[in-house]
Amino acid sequence: MNQENFDCDVAIVGAGIGGLTLALSLHAAGIACRVYEAAREIKPLGVGINLLPHAVRVLDGLGLLDELGKVGVTTKESAFYSAHGQFVYSEPAGRYAGYKWPQFSIHRGDLQAVLLRAVRERIGQDAIVADRRCAGFEQDEGGVTVRFDDAAGSAQAPVRAKLAVGCDGIHSAIRKHLYPNDGAPRYSGVNMWRGTTVMKPFLSGATMVRAGWLSVGKMVIYPIRDNVDGQGNQLINWVAEIEADQPARRDWNRQGRLEDFFPAFADWHFDWLDVAAMIQATDNILEYPMVDQDPLPRWSFGRVTLLGDAAHPMVPRGSNGAGQAILDAPCLVEQIRDLGMTEDALTAYDRIRVKATGDVVLMNRTAPPDAILKTVHELTGGARFSAIDDVISQDALAAISNSYKNVAGLNRDALNAATRA
């Protein structure tokens, strides 16, 4: 098929964080692309996420660092507390820890808005086509034809591209096409509830807190917007996690009920934060099961591949899900740049990222950073302690944190030595 018969070089299915980062990365490399999104209108969904230095490095390479700094909170430290509010361990984050790049705590909608604006400004207003739900694809020696329906189920014009990338999330149509007998999500035994509350800053005003443990109730709490009301208050993101026999429905926007989890945190009134009051002041609560899926043996089949949650859904326990999607993008673009619009490029990308992300998926199951809390909870039996050093040394806790960083691509010296993405 001749060049003029292609709608674009790369068809990106999905306008989430991974798909938009890929579009910007392809554009920077001079590769034509277009993004096809199932939603009729791209709206800011979700709540808070953390962008760790390895992901910020990629976004900095795309010229987005200043924009992210304007809408997010530059995280100063990661701190761990017991279910009684007792200090366990803390370590500096991002540039405060000596990385060349900061860590941002940010509303997912704000991050997506930054990416969306950049795509439209740099590639064009028509770079993203909404109301296009992937209905399947066919490929041949010269390219791939992706079929789409609109929200009403009516067939739309197919798209012809040299390569297609499924960035369509946890319910990926591309993944289902590649793996029609894909196994069910693996439930971790934990459900989580999420929300945001406007309140005054706590601790440093830029601290990411993990407290408690899953068997009795665990919280992750951090600010995602500064001075939201002109009075110095922040938008605080919180996640409550509790072991449960049955998983919630796998829907990022499912509404949650306060009574299903609040009793575990009703007496969490600490001198550094009244957690119970924070939860009770939340207007909108979302519920989601902690699930992932076993790593796939491969993502690339001919001229089609996967990226982000479509490729490697993971339990959100290492602040790394969005980050790994962002890391996928420059790797894929580098292979295309080196090997051309070929199946070989997708195979090379597959060989690098399947192993790297698979290791993170498995590490998130067994030894994410919050394993610090599990260790302390087990050593103390969940009881109060006089001093953390009587329970476990700070060096031992640092070793748990560092073991995760090495697997997740967050070794500070190695990351700082790398060239800009």
- Per-residue pLDDT band for 252 (boundaries 50, 70, 90) equals low
302 within a domain of the structure (yes/no): yes
103/332 Cα distance (integer angstroms): 24
Contacts of 84 (CB under 8 A, 6+ apart): 384
The tens digit of pLDDT for each residue in 310-335 reads 999 998 877 788 999 999 999 999 99
282 within a domain of the structure (yes/no): no
Q: Which residue has the tokens 């665990």?
A: 218
Give the H or E element holding residue 400: helix 394-408
User: Residue 270 has which token pair?
Assistant: 């600490």
Predicted local distance difference test score (pLDDT) of residue 3:
47
Q: Are 124 and 8 in contact (CB under 8 A)?
A: no
252 within a domain of the structure (yes/no): no
Widest CA span of the chain, in angstroms?
74
What is the distance in angstroms between the CA of the first residue and the CA of the last residue of the chain? 33
Q: Are 211 and 83 in contact (CB under 8 A)?
A: yes
Please report, for the domain that includes residue 167, its CATH number.
3.50.50.60
63/56 Cα distance (integer angstroms): 10
Predicted local distance difference test score (pLDDT) of residue 376:
96
205/225 Cα distance (integer angstroms): 11
285/195 Cα distance (integer angstroms): 5
The tens digit of pLDDT for each residue in 201-242 reads 999 999 999 999 999 999 999 999 999 999 999 999 999 999
Beta-sheet pairing, 234-243 with 186-199: antiparallel
Give the H or E element holding residue 404: helix 394-408
One-character DSSP codes across 85-140: S-EEEEEE-GGGGT-SS--EEEEHHHHHHHHHHHHHHHT-GGGEE-S-EEEEEEE-
113 within a domain of the structure (yes/no): yes
Nearest to 13 by CA among 108, 148, 111: 148
SS3 content of the chain, % helix, strand, coil (to 5): 35, 25, 35
159 within a domain of the structure (yes/no): yes
249/251 Cα distance (integer angstroms): 6
Predicted local distance difference test score (pLDDT) of residue 419:
62
> Residue 421 above 80 pLDDT?
no
User: Residue 382 has which token pair?
Assistant: 């969940």
Beta-sheet pairing, 155-166 with 8-13: parallel
303 within a domain of the structure (yes/no): yes
49 within a domain of the structure (yes/no): yes
Give me the sheet containing 73-74, strands edge to edge: 48-51, 104-107, 73-74
Q: Are 175 and 167 in contact (CB under 8 A)?
A: no
- Per-residue pLDDT band for 2 (boundaries 50, 70, 90) equals very low
Q: What pTM does this model have?
A: 0.94
398/417 Cα distance (integer angstroms): 22
Q: Which residue has the tokens 């601790």?
A: 203
The tens digit of pLDDT for each residue in 110-153 reads 999 999 999 999 999 999 999 999 999 999 999 999 999 999 99
The tens digit of pLDDT for each residue in 25-82 reads 999 999 999 999 999 988 877 789 999 999 999 999 999 999 999 999 999 999 999 9
Residue 200 phi/psi, 5-degree rounding, is -70, 155
> Residue 283 above 60 pLDDT?
yes
Q: What is the extent of the structural domain holding 355? A: 3-73+105-184+294-366
- Give me the number of domains the chain comprises: 1
Residue 181 phi/psi, 5-degree rounding, is -110, 30
* Beta strand residue intervals within 150-233, DSSP E: 155-166, 186-199, 207-213, 217-225
Report how far Cα 8 is from the mean position of its chain's Cα atoms.
27
The mean pLDDT value for 165-187 works out to 92
The mean pLDDT value for 261-277 works out to 98
Give the H or E element holding residue 343: helix 343-366
The tens digit of pLDDT for each residue in 349-367 reads 999 999 999 998 988 887 7
* Beta strand residue intervals within 226-301, DSSP E: 234-243, 286-292
322 within a domain of the structure (yes/no): yes
- Per-residue pLDDT band for 420 (boundaries 50, 70, 90) equals low
Contacts of 395 (CB under 8 A, 6+ apart): none
